[in-house]
Amino acid sequence: MFWLNIKRVLRAGFVGFWRNGSVSLSSVLIMTVTLFVLGSIIFVGAMLRTSLEQIQAKVDVNVYFVPEADEEAILGLADTLRSLPEVASVEYVSRDQALENFKNRHENDEVTLQALDELGDNPLGAILNIRARETSQYEGIATFLGSQGDQGSFIDKVNYYQNRAAIDALTRIIAGATTVGFGATLALVFISIVIAFNTIRLAIYISRDEISVMRLVGASNKYIRGPFVVSGIMYGIVSALATLVLLYPATYWVASITRTFFSGFDVWSYYLSNFAYITLVIVGTGALLGATGSFLAVRKYLKV
pLDDT digits (tens, 9 = 90+) for 50-80: 776 776 666 678 888 888 888 888 888 888 8
- Percent above pLDDT 70 for the chain: 65
Q: What is the pLDDT of residue 16?
A: 58
Asked if 234 contacts 17 with a C-beta cutoff of 8 angstroms, the reply is yes
Exposure letters 243-271 (e unless 16+ CB within 10 A, then b):
bbeebeebbeeebeebeeebbebbbbebb
Spatial neighbors of 13 by CB under 8 A, at least 6 apart, are 226, 227, 228, 229, 230, 231, 233, 234
Average pLDDT over residues 111-130: 76
At 222 the three-state DSSP class reads helix
Q: Residue 121: is its pLDDT beyond 70?
A: yes
The DSSP secondary-structure symbol of 69 reads -
pTM value > 0.85: no
Structural domains present in the chain? 2-55+172-302 (no CATH), 67-153 (3.30.70.3040)
Burial class (CB in 10 A: 0-12, 13-18, 19+), 181: middle
- Percent above pLDDT 90 for the chain: 6
| pLDDT tens sequence across 195-238 | 667 766 776 676 666 666 766 666 666 766 777 777 778 888 88
Rounded Cα gap, residues 250 and 59, in angstroms: 33
| pLDDT tens sequence across 263-297 | 678 888 999 999 999 999 999 988 888 887 777 77
Phi, psi of 60 (to 5 degrees): -150, 175
| pLDDT tens sequence across 127-186 | 888 888 877 787 788 888 777 655 556 777 777 766 666 666 666 776 776 677 677 767
Report, in angstroms and rounded to the nearest whole number, the Rg of the chain calculated over CA atoms.
31
Asked if 71 contacts 126 with a C-beta cutoff of 8 angstroms, the reply is yes
Q: What is the pLDDT of residue 15?
A: 61
Q: What is the pLDDT of residue 291?
A: 80
Q: Residue 98: is its pLDDT beyond 50?
A: yes
